[in-house]
């Protein structure tokens, strides 16, 4: 079942009745409905889907590698929107280890940035062509721990929007914060989710649903 409230679309069972809940974050110029199409493609009907919608289809106006101040206050507002979804799930009794984050492109950057700023043992993090937010050379704090959370990063190389080097830097930060990281490079692929990424996300979701 797919339904939506203001700025939030939902698919599958309610989180209280699901094996896990997947928060899906769309890319620039896309929509929450696009991410629910991806949820359908994943084929995991016992997992709940929650997909927020960015105002105007964009979470923040400039590149994710622009100086942080250039993307404010939009970036903070977007992070607060993700935090509200996570907080609502926790308040409803859904444990953090049954909450997974998946984003594509700008949404992958936002999901990563949220997780790094709010580290806990989530069920998993799936970063499909993205990385942490900030200009080249920015120092990242690695305070906090993901306590063995699985993280999958799939990145096209070359990609017009996300340098592979930033994906590697992101993987390194996640590892320092005790995530179990799989980084996969896809040479000469289009800026889109590919079949291998879908398979890896399916495997990670199955692991979360089984509680391993």
Q: What is the pLDDT of residue 164?
A: 95
143/42 Cα distance (integer angstroms): 33
Q: What is the pLDDT of residue 1?
A: 45
- The class level of CATH for 2-210 reads alpha beta
CB atoms within 10 A of CB 131: 25
- In this prediction, residues 15-36 reach a mean pLDDT of 97
138/81 Cα distance (integer angstroms): 24
Q: What is the pLDDT of residue 2?
A: 42
Q: What is the pLDDT of residue 139?
A: 87
Beta carbons of 32 and 26 less than 8 angstroms apart: yes
- What is the tens place of the pLDDT at every residue in 79-98? 999 999 999 999 999 999 99
Examine the pLDDT at 142 and tell me if it is beyond 90.
Answer: no
- What is the tens place of the pLDDT at every residue in 108-118? 999 999 999 99
**143/83: higher pLDDT:** 83
Residues in CB range of 12: below 8 A, 6 or more apart: 1, 18, 39, 44, 45, 46, 47, 48, 49
The domain limits of the chain are 2-210
Q: What is the pLDDT of residue 5?
A: 54
Local confidence band at 41 (pLDDT 50, 70, 90 cut-offs): very high
């Amino acid at each position: 079942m797919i339904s939506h409230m203001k700025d939030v679309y939902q698919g599958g069972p309610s989180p209280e009745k699901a094996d896990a809940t997947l928060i899906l974050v769309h890319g620039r110029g896309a929509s929450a409905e696009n991410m629910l199409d991806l949820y359908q493609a994943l084929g995991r009907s016992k997992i709940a889907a929650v997909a927020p919608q960015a105002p105007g289809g964009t979470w923040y106006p400039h590149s994710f590698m622009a100086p942080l101040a250039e993307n404010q206050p939009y970036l903070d507002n977007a992070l607060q929107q993700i935090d509200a979804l996570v907080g609502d799930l926790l308040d409803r009794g859904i444990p953090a280890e049954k909450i997974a984050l998946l984003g594509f492109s700008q949404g992958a950057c936002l999901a990563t940035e949220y997780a790094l700023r709010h580290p806990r043992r989530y069920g998993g993090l799936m970063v499909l062509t993205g990385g942490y937010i900030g200009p080249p050379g920015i120092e990242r704090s690695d305070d906090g721990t993901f306590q063995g959370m699985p993280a999958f990063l799939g990145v096209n190389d070359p990609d017009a929007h996300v340098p592979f080097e930033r994906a590697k830097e992101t993987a390194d930060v996640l590892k320092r914060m005790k995530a179990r990281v799989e980084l996969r490079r896809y040479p000469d692929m289009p800026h889109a989710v590919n079949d291998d990424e879908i398979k890896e996300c399916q495997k990670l979701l199955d692991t979360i649903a089984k509680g391993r």
